[in-house]
Structure 1
């Protein structure tokens, strides 16, 4: 009789369920979780499937691939005569802890790889984690097949799900506390994610010959009193809604570089929510003629009179003439 044909323990349901029944269940859970995360835009369901998808399944697949043999069945009592004792292998509680730890490592590595190849977005991260986890599960299945039936790991097995190493109660309590703390930390981060840097972005655009808005070939000559179209782009990344005030001034500088003459030529307001952007067209018509006039778009967060200065300043150097062609 070969090793793989040895008699099955009646208390061990591995044979009835299949040697890879746990791997198949995890694979199904990963595929379903990925589908839910890609189809649902946040909410309790996304959290329900997302937490194990990120914090347990990847590590479980890696641990299963690294440890295809079932845990050691040692107890305080001496083994019964003729009882088979497999090589030393961590128990299921230890493997669960390793699964949590390795999941964090896998997610971090996959995140770095995805960011290097593309960008951290939901779809590529979910797809990458799904492919990695399924690949690790496939390796685990192959490695289990290379072991005798009685030596293959499977937490759904009747015997291996009951037998625990010495101190299993203490391990169970420790693992439960660790899981609660980990889930609580993830829930807190999800409820109050780090905001990152808060900033406003502004830029000037002009219309090309093809009618596209571009950040080049700006007009350098303005006719006094005649409107010249310019477009101001604004992006709000302040993590809050902001009422912007934009003041357009034409400044003539003195020999020492200080402002000798300043004329306000336009003022308007823009309200943007967080992560909202807009492009505003304005007709700019300075009336004071001169060469090397500095045209500034000063962006204030709120009322200019209540702030120390503009948050953003975008400028052009222009000449203002009496008539076209002068």
Structure 2
């Protein structure tokens, strides 16, 4: 029975190492699913059960499966939570590596405890029991069936989640840069002095889109940029210049983005706060278009 116990520990560690090698060297989705489901839902709990109960009389197959399944569900999120507070974060490689280290550590503890346990016969030696409905009562049989259904449902759900294609995030990037292409925009201008910024739009919506931008000052529309038609992943930039003739602190110039002919702003407006020195009664904003 010692040999059988050791073989089970070797098997789960080989499975963990095989999954690591698959992720790094052979990124085939089907193989990842076959190895990944037991790695997430069974192996960590099995290793922990083996470490905690390396010598126990009467450990049944259903009890083993239930404990392994339940502890795996508890252990893996805890590993992810701890990784979240490390520089590695919750990513595939750190989670797999940390899970493998946990499994190996539990396996070493289980093997040492099992090796030191007195040999009292196979009837009292904890090993890898078989699942059987024979010789059990109605209540135990119902529990067995329910546990098998729960495990099957969990495996099916995990497999479906892993195999289903992940929907990529869709968004539009709308930004303002200084004239040299860096962050930072003019905040101090003299009355009548020209200020300029780079207005940028990047389409990451997964489909082609048409954009336009209204330029507002003092709540009034003073210019409009567009329409700008962009394919998916395409980026557009244009220089927009403005001249503020009315003196005063914290004058707001807004850039409002619209998409596909809609009348509602598609994103939160971008804006500048500009302190203008001097004294003239009018404010003007002039658009300087650029080629697409």
TM-score category, normalised to shorter length: 0.7 to 0.9
Structure 1's 19 and 252: CA in aligned 2 closer, same or farther, altered over 3 A? closer
Deviates more, 1:241-250 or 1:214-223: 214-223
Shift of residue 195, structure 1, vs aligned partner: 6.9
| Distance in 1 separating the partners of 2:185 and 2:195 | 17
User: Does 2:192 match 1:232?
Assistant: no
Q: Deviations over 1:161-204 (max 9, x none)?
A: 59988427555433321221111222343355897997655332
Shift of residue 100, structure 1, vs aligned partner: 0.6
Structure 1's 264 and 307: CA in aligned 2 closer, same or farther, altered over 3 A? closer
Tell me the equivalent position of 1:247: 212
Contact 2:186 2:195 in 1 (8 A): no
Shift of residue 71, structure 1, vs aligned partner: 4.0
Tell me the equivalent position of 1:66: 52
Q: Deviations over 1:128-159 (max 9, x none)?
A: 1111111111111111122013354222xxxx
Structure 1's 113 and 307: CA in aligned 2 closer, same or farther, altered over 3 A? farther
SS at match of 1:143: helix
Structure 1's 228 and 267: CA in aligned 2 closer, same or farther, altered over 3 A? farther
Counterpart of 1:45 (choices 31, 39, 56) is 31
User: Does 2:157 match 1:185?
Assistant: yes
SS at match of 1:299: strand
| Distance in 2 separating the partners of 1:98 and 1:141 | 19
Q: Deviations over 1:80-108 (max 9, x none)?
A: xxxxxxxxxx3122111110111010111
Give unpaired runs (5+ residues) of structure 2: 277-283, 287-292
Deviates more, 1:47-56 or 1:166-175: 166-175
User: TM-score by structure 1 length?
Assistant: 0.67
User: TM-score by structure 2 length?
Assistant: 0.74
Counterpart of 1:297 (choices 252, 255, 268) is 255
SS at match of 1:117: coil
Deviates more, 1:100-109 or 1:180-189: 180-189
User: Does 2:126 match 1:153?
Assistant: yes
SS at match of 2:153: helix
Tell me the equivalent position of 1:269: 229
| Distance in 2 separating the partners of 1:27 and 1:141 | 12
SS at match of 1:308: coil
Structure 1's 98 and 171: CA in aligned 2 closer, same or farther, altered over 3 A? same
Shift of residue 242, structure 1, vs aligned partner: 4.4
Q: How many residues matched?
A: 268
Contact 1:222 1:285 in 2 (8 A): no
Give unpaired runs (5+ residues) of structure 1: 1-13, 73-89
